[in-house]
Amino acid sequence: MRRPRVCSGDPSRKRSSTSPYGTTTSTAMIDHGIQLVADYIENYWEEMWFIDMLNQLLKYSDENKGKFDIVAAMQMAEIADEEVSELVPVAVKEVKNEF
């Protein structure tokens, strides 16, 4: 997906159609992602059953963050969810099954 607005430092800014893809690896973005993961855990802890994910969450540290792929994936998923959470789905016009 295109770079989330939170990467620009101004989440209220509209996204540029020419912006790069992905997020930055700044300390601020990592901290923001970790906070979003913490919020997710606080809200959905009773629904988390994936043992490898729980083990990585328990052992995660900033010093060794490169060894925690599941936590990094959770950060990216939460940042993406935050970016698209305000989008409103639109009705799709009926598609004909013709070539």
- Name the token pair of 91: 């009705």
Per-residue pLDDT tens over the stretch 21-79:
777 778 888 899 999 999 999 999 999 999 999 999 999 998 888 899 999 999 999 99
Structural domain including 53 reads 25-84
Residue 12 falls inside a structural domain: no
Q: What is the pTM of this model?
A: 0.70
Residue 14 falls inside a structural domain: no
pLDDT the model gives residue 19 = 60
Count of structural domains within the chain: 1
Residue 19 falls inside a structural domain: no
Residue 91 falls inside a structural domain: no
Residue 51 falls inside a structural domain: yes
pLDDT above 70 (res 91): yes
Phi–psi pair at 2, nearest 5 degrees: -65, 160
Determine if residue 31 is left, alpha or beta; phi over 0 gives left, psi from -120 to 50 gives alpha, anything else beta. Answer: alpha
Residue 97 falls inside a structural domain: no
Residue 56 falls inside a structural domain: yes
